[in-house]
C-alpha cells in the first residue's frame, strides 16, 4: 500500500505542536521534556467543551493541527481513531461509583466512557458525517490504526485522517497499566500527491522479530517505549529529517510493520 501525507499533528511531553517538535525530531534543537499542555478546544461549543474529558481534548488538538497543516476540510474527511487507553479517568470514576452504595452513573459520564467518545466529539466539533472507525490493539494500537487508515485510503481512493492518542490512567489502574504521559499524533493521508504533500508512505508486513526502529535520543526512546501512541515517533522523526528510508514499527507478536518513507 502507498499513500501520501498532507498534514501532521503532534502533542506530547516537550513536543508542543508539530512545527516546534519538527526541529527537535530533526536534531536541530535538543529535546527538553515538559508536561504535555492540552488547551481547550476551539472546535466545540461551550457546553460540550465543559464536559469534554482530557483524552478527547488531546485527540481534538492533534487532529485539528493536522487538518490545519493539510488545509483540508475535516467535515468531508473520514477518520480513524486509535488509543490503547481510552478515557481512564471516567472508567476509574465509574468503577468507584459501582463499588459504592449509590451506584447510579450519570449519562454524561457513561457516554464519555465509551471507546469512540473522541470520534463522537470530533463529529460534533467538525460537523462531519463521514465514516469514522475507533479501535484499540493494546501496545500495537498505533500500528493497527495506521494499517486501517492506509487500507481505507487505498480502497476508497479518498483522504482519511489517523488520530492516535493515549492518556495515563489514575491509580490504582496506573499501577497495573503505567503510561508515561499524555501523547497524541495525527496524520492526514491521501491517495494522491498534492501541493500540501510532505511525504509518501509504503507499508509491508514483516514476519519474525526484527528490531523496531529506535529513537536517536534516549529520552525520546523512553517515550516511544512508555506510551503506545508514541510508537509513531520513529515515523515522525523520518518526516522531520526529510530523508528517504525505512522505519520498522512494533506491531503484534512476531510481526512488524516496515514503512518506506519518501519526502515529497
Spatial CB neighbours of 100, under 8 Å, sequence gap ≥ 6: none
**What's the pLDDT score for residue 102?**
86
* DSSP string of 99-121, one letter each residue: TSS-----HHHHHHHSTTHHHHH
| Rg of the chain, C-alpha, whole Å | 18
CA–CA separation, 251 and 166 (whole Å): 17
**What's the pLDDT score for residue 44?**
81
DSSP state of 182: -
Place of cell 506491531: 251
Mean model confidence pLDDT for the chain: 94
**What's the pLDDT score for residue 47?**
75
DSSP state of 75: G
**Least confident stretch, 9-18, 83-92, 158-167:** 83-92
| Superfamily for domain range 2-196 | Thiolase/Chalcone synthase (3.40.47.10)
pLDDT, tens digit (0-9, with 9 covering 90-100), for 102-153: 888 888 888 788 899 999 999 999 999 999 999 999 999 999 999 999 999 9
Q: Which residues pair with 189 in a beta bridge?
A: 5, 160
pLDDT, tens digit (0-9, with 9 covering 90-100), for 225-244: 999 999 999 999 999 999 89
CA–CA separation, 123 and 9 (whole Å): 18
Cα diameter, the chain = 60
pTM of the model: 0.95
Residues listed for the chain: 264
pLDDT, tens digit (0-9, with 9 covering 90-100), for 35-75: 999 987 788 877 777 778 899 999 999 999 999 999 999 99
User: Which of residues 108 and 211 earns the better pLDDT score?
Assistant: 211
**Least confident stretch, 91-95, 177-181, 259-263:** 91-95
Amino acid at each position: 500500500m502507498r499513500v501520501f501525507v498532507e498534514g501532521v499533528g503532534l502533542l506530547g511531553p516537550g513536543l508542543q505542536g508539530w512545527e516546534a517538535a519538527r526541529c527537535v525530531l530533526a536534531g536541530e534543537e535538543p529535546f527538553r521534556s515538559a508536561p504535555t499542555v492540552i488547551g481547550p478546544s476551539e472546535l466545540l461549543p461551550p457546553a460540550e467543551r465543559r464536559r469534554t474529558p482530557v483524552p478527547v481534548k488531546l485527540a481534538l488538538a492533534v487532529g485539528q493541527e493536522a487538518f490545519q497543516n493539510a488545509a483540508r476540510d475535516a467535515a468531508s474527511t473520514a477518520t480513524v481513531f486509535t488509543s490503547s487507553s481510552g478515557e481512564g479517568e471516567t472508567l476509574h470514576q465509574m468503577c468507584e461509583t459501582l463499588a459504592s452504595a449509590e451506584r447510579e452513573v450519570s449519562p454524561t459520564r457513561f457516554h464519555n466512557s465509551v471507546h469512540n467518545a473522541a470520534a463522537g466529539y470530533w463529529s460534533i466539533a467538525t460537523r462531519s458525517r463521514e465514516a469514522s472507525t475507533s479501535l484499540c490493539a493494546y501496545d500495537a494500537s498505533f500500528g493497527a490504526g495506521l494499517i486501517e487508515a492506509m487500507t481505507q485510503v487505498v480502497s476508497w481512493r479518498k483522504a482519511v485522517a489517523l488520530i492516535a492518542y493515549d492518556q495515563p490512567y489514575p491509580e490504582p489502574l496506573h499501577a497495573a497499566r503505567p503510561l508515561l504521559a499524555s501523547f497524541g499524533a495525527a496524520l492526514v493521508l491521501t491517495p494522491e500527491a498534492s501541493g500540501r504533500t510532505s511525504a509518501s508512505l509504503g507499508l509491508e508486513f514483516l514476519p519474525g522479530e526484527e528490531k523496531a526502529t529506535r529513537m536517536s535520543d534516549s529520552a525520546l526512546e523512553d517515550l516511544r517505549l512508555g506510551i503506545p501512541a508514541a510508537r509513531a515517533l520513529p515515523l515522525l522523526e523520518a518526516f522531520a529529517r526529510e530523508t528517504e528510508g525505512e522505519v520498522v514499527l512494533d506491531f503484534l507478536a512476531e510481526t512488524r510493520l516496515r514503512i518506506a518513507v519518501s519526502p515529497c
